[in-house]
Structure 1
């Protein structure tokens, strides 16, 4: 780079800038442009970029950084949706892949949108659509294409429809072998070239539906087998492995299991709700609302509690709390907002990346 600034050090400095600042740095000189455009730099940037969480609040989207040194969030960053905000509400789903968001709209279409370049594309409705249709958004390395997946439920069957951004059109896949199952979350978890959903018929009759974005094949994966009592389950990714977070109501227990390369599950975390909620707050009936891992593999959790004190207003009876469980030293830190939490609805994660996704917006 120069005798005063080695290239390794320049990479570490530049990798800590925002996407907008890097766009300016690309114009400084050919050397910097070549360095920033290099695939290795993009991978380093992705490693450093923190996970932030998209939330819906006051008719808009906000980004919250919970990994900062200060666990009091002063000014959540508002994302300026390129469409009228009346097109979204609390029922909106947000999916994320490589720095790009896929947002469902009220008219049953979707918008694929990069918040930093402000590029966007409207994805048309593939046909029959309901608010319960499950969704997935991910990248297929075989075809080098991004794909949006939704399951259409005609009578007696369930068929995956795939929107291929390379062709700009929907294509129909073979019907699902599990058409009459329900799904814990509408949004699929993306890892490598696969999408995952938890399917269930009861608390004990459950499995993971895996969908291959390259071959369009289905696979059934077993969930961890523990004692009964699980009421809520979430899929996630930690250290590039699929994990499942479960909440056992009767025991007020939160447990996390990770799938290894053999397909076996190993329980890595077991927490009690009592570890998070103060004694004076236990009169509220707190439930786990949102759970996800951060880039540092810490566990971010939000709880919603309801008080039976009817002398207070409806808004005051609802309480929300956010926590960060630090896996390195097994400590729990409460995350606070400068304003009140009620009204914030956490929708999913977001990570800035330099991965070029222009093919989406062709």
Structure 2
């Protein structure tokens, strides 16, 4: 910042200076900490972090084999700009494998899963990483991450695998990452269902995390498992009635419509009427799911015309997310070529998105917000 600009800032009311600074990118704020003591103190206040977060840009992150990509999306140019970023894991680079995945995100903090029962909290904007070793080694089915506003703490949830042939999940380990507390929570509603151990983590909508549950032979059921981060209770809730001809596992995503509710994106029957199908949930005042409605079905003919891929005979949905009111879907056609699609739910148009890197190295896509929220250091040790 030039001396002239700095002088102008000092002449402005401090409240206006704060309002201006909340719109400055994180990388510049880190440099501005040296401007004066009042700014340095301001950047340490949680109130400023929250105010800054309301103006901060949303970024995209993708994990591949020992590669981490993050970037921005330009809806005007229909282009995704990705750049490679190395996670600072010190000397233990062996943690970064094809199993590295994003468990969830809150306040710009990404909860990561590494191999060897190791987790981490990462702020890509601050380039801060703290590793998390759960206090006990458990075999677990599913994982989730979120923020509990009542305790002002971040929570990591692991749905545990009960030992023994034919046994079902009945407990979960909940770790509070600021306080260092951990406890076992009953999950009795799962006794008649199965979970699938997967690095595709639960989907958080507000203060509730959702997972899919399965019946015999890994068939999709009409139920979802939910966990309330505040009350720390598990429940089963309805999901869209699965098609008997459905292909692959549908993706749960958040924020598809104005209310930011839960949605599913999946691949329907690959006949002339099949393709990508999207459902949206209606939530009650408490955030519970009341019902579902189908909001769009993208037929094979529509996809062939829009993507320029003639005679599509196979679709695999690798990833789906929302960004700036758009549905972004990373799909593979014919078992080979990957394409990133952008679907506008308002004008019902579908567009191919260009990228700065090959889509072949893109894994599951996630979004996060650039923030100044620091990574909390757990108080407990392995």
Rate the CA distance shift 1:191–1:26 in 2: closer, same or farther, 3 A.
Answer: farther
Structure 1: which 5+ residue stretches go unaligned? 308-317
| TM-score, structure 2 as length reference | 0.78
CA contact (8 A) 1:55 1:64 kept: no
Correspondent of 2:251 among 222, 234, 238: 234
Correspondent of 2:188 among 158, 162, 176: 176
66-75 or 240-249: bigger deviation: 66-75
Find the aligned partners of 2:189 and 2:135 in 1 and give their Cα distance. 21
Instruction: Say which SS state the counterpart of residue 290 (structure 1) adopts.
Output: strand
Find the aligned partners of 1:216 and 1:149 in 2 and give their Cα distance. 10
Correspondent of 1:166 among 178, 184, 188: 178
Q: How does 1:1-362 map to 2 (within 5 A)?
A: 13-29=20-36, 42-43=49-50, 45-67=52-74, 69-73=76-80, 75-83=82-90, 84-95=92-103, 96-130=105-139, 133-155=141-163, 156-158=167-169, 159-179=171-191, 180-183=193-196, 186-201=200-215, 203=219, 205-225=221-241, 228-231=244-247, 232-238=249-255, 239=258, 240-250=260-270, 251-261=274-284, 263-277=290-304, 278-283=307-312, 285-294=314-323, 296-306=324-334, 318-354=336-372, 356-360=373-377
Rate the CA distance shift 1:129–1:206 in 2: closer, same or farther, 3 A.
Answer: farther
1:38 is displaced (CA, Å) by 6.8
Rate the CA distance shift 1:128–1:27 in 2: closer, same or farther, 3 A.
Answer: closer
Find the aligned partners of 2:243 and 2:312 in 1 and give their Cα distance. 27
Find the aligned partners of 1:89 and 1:3 in 2 and give their Cα distance. 49
| TM-score, structure 1 as length reference | 0.82
Find the aligned partners of 2:375 and 2:115 in 1 and give their Cα distance. 26
Rate the CA distance shift 1:200–1:305 in 2: closer, same or farther, 3 A.
Answer: same
Rate the CA distance shift 1:256–1:81 in 2: closer, same or farther, 3 A.
Answer: farther
Deviations 1:242-274 (Å, cap 9, x if unpaired)? 222233133113223132326222333332344
Find the aligned partners of 1:128 and 1:75 in 2 and give their Cα distance. 36
Find the aligned partners of 1:322 and 1:42 in 2 and give their Cα distance. 33
Find the aligned partners of 2:20 and 2:350 in 1 and give their Cα distance. 31
Structure 2: which 5+ residue stretches go unaligned? 1-7
1:70 is displaced (CA, Å) by 3.5
Rate the CA distance shift 1:35–1:76 in 2: closer, same or farther, 3 A.
Answer: same
Rate the CA distance shift 1:149–1:299 in 2: closer, same or farther, 3 A.
Answer: same
Instruction: Say which SS state the counterpart of residue 21 (structure 1) adopts.
Output: helix
Find the aligned partners of 2:312 and 2:241 in 1 and give their Cα distance. 32
181-190 or 1-10: bigger deviation: 1-10
- RMSD of the alignment, in Å? 3.2
Rate the CA distance shift 1:246–1:26 in 2: closer, same or farther, 3 A.
Answer: same
Rate the CA distance shift 1:361–1:129 in 2: closer, same or farther, 3 A.
Answer: closer
19-28 or 97-106: bigger deviation: 19-28
1:6 is displaced (CA, Å) by 7.9
Rate the CA distance shift 1:282–1:64 in 2: closer, same or farther, 3 A.
Answer: farther
